[in-house]
Chains A and B, each alone.
Chain A
Amino acid sequence: MTTVRPDEPIDQLDLRILAAVRDLWSAADPPPADLVDRIRGAVALAGAFLGSPTVAVCRQRTGSDDVGRITFDSDALTISLSVGVNLDGTVRMDGRLSPPGSHDIELRTDDQRLCTRSDVHGRFTINGLRHGPAHLTVSATDVSLTTPSITL
């Protein structure tokens, strides 16, 4: 057995080994098939708000993903969502913004784009949604917030 010194320069065999390691992980634990499309959708949506004063990304709050309730926090705004299924199988989303305020809200899925506006108490409802990944964007006065993907 030839002992390989770690300070030797990387050579072709090392590169072959690294390529094989890459193939191995690509086969054993690849990214989800829809991940790139999900990200492209989210980035396109957030990019559309780049002209706004600030584009911010909310972060899902700890333990907020039980029983259809999801909370996203950011420095400027907290978005609390309650997601339920109607009798006809469509999805209803009730949301509340904190601090409360009337802001434009857009929900985008793979094939739907629904717009509404929260009331002065920060409440809003979007109904008739189909199941699947979605992104919510809230356009407040000086900031646009986009959530990571939500699975409806």
Chain B
Amino acid sequence: MVGGPRHGPKPPTDMGDGDTDNRYEHIAVLLEAARADPRGGMDPLIIELTPLLWHVARAQGLDAAHCADVVQTTWLNLLRSLADIHTPAALTAWLVTATKREAWRAKDAHRNETLAGDETFADLLDGSAGPVDQALVADQRRRLWKAVDQLSTRCQQLLRVVAFTPRPDYGLVANRLGMPKGSIGPTRGRCLAKLRELLTSDPDGEWG
């Protein structure tokens, strides 16, 4: 599809991030390969998009072990639907929706167990160790943690998923997080704007 029309919804503006655009096009190529050979052609897609699905599942408040099962089940279910999915936007939307539903189902099924999936940013920060911990204490990252932690849970959840999603799908992802259709843009914008404001208002930060 190089040189052809872009599939799926266009981003609302030109955001000028070549890497993200390339990733979207890359996924289109991987999707074609998987559709052509579902038996053996899924691996690159799984490698590319499993992190997104992981963070979608985790953002639903499910613990790590169950999230792993949820993501795996979603990929297995995709095998049966792959023939009906033609664009990266449709693929991402399908995967995000399926992951979220599966996570909710798992959460409901294991309601009586103690699920450790509701960690706050602070919990994750405190619980990390080793190299990751060292990376996290880097000043800019620490400031980012602090700013994100001040956002509402809904905004944290939305931005976590949006950050891992190929850009043309921002709107679709927002939709899958249960927001009113008409407010996709403004809601996403408000969360981003709030985070940006928190970061840029820090006189010692590097985001200004």
Interface of A with B (CB < 8 Å)?
1-32, 35-36, 38-40, 42-44, 46-48, 50, 55, 57, 59-63, 146, 148-149
Contacts and interface: CB of A to CB of B under 8 A. Distances in A.
Given A7-B186, A59-B73, A18 B162 contact: yes
Nearest to B69: A148
Nearest to B203: A1
Nearest to A41: B72
Contact of B38 (A9, A14, A29, A47): A47
A3 B189 CA distance: 13
A151 B7 CA distance: 40
Given A5-B193, A21-B160, A44-B40, A28 B124 contact: yes
Contacts of B159: 18, 21
A46 B76 contact: yes
B163 A22 contact: yes
Given A36-B46, A47-B42, A18 B163 contact: yes
Given A35-B68, A43-B75, A47-B40, A1 B197 contact: yes
Contacts of B47: 36
B50 A36 contact: yes
Interface of B: 11-13, 15-17, 20, 38-40, 42-43, 46-47, 50-51, 54-55, 58, 64, 68-69, 71-73, 75-77, 79-80, 105, 109-110, 112, 119, 121, 124-125, 128, 132, 135-136, 140-141, 144-145, 148, 159-160, 162-164, 185-186, 189-190, 192-193, 195-197, 199-201, 207
B71 A39 contact: yes
B186 A24 contact: no
B77 A57 contact: yes
Contacts of B73: 57, 59, 148
Contacts of B55: 25, 29
B207 A13 contact: yes
Between B109, B112, B125, B185, the greatest number of chain A beta carbons within 10 A of the residue's beta carbon is seen for B109
B192 A6 contact: yes
Contacts of A8: 189, 193
B54 A31 contact: yes
Contacts of B12: 9-10
Given A17-B199, A63-B112, A4 B193 contact: yes
B192 A38 contact: no
Given A14-B196, A149-B69, A6 B58 contact: no
Given A6-B186, A28-B124, A47-B40, A38 B193 contact: no
A139 to B, nearest CB: 16
A148 B79 contact: no
A15 B151 CA distance: 18
A13 B119 CA distance: 28
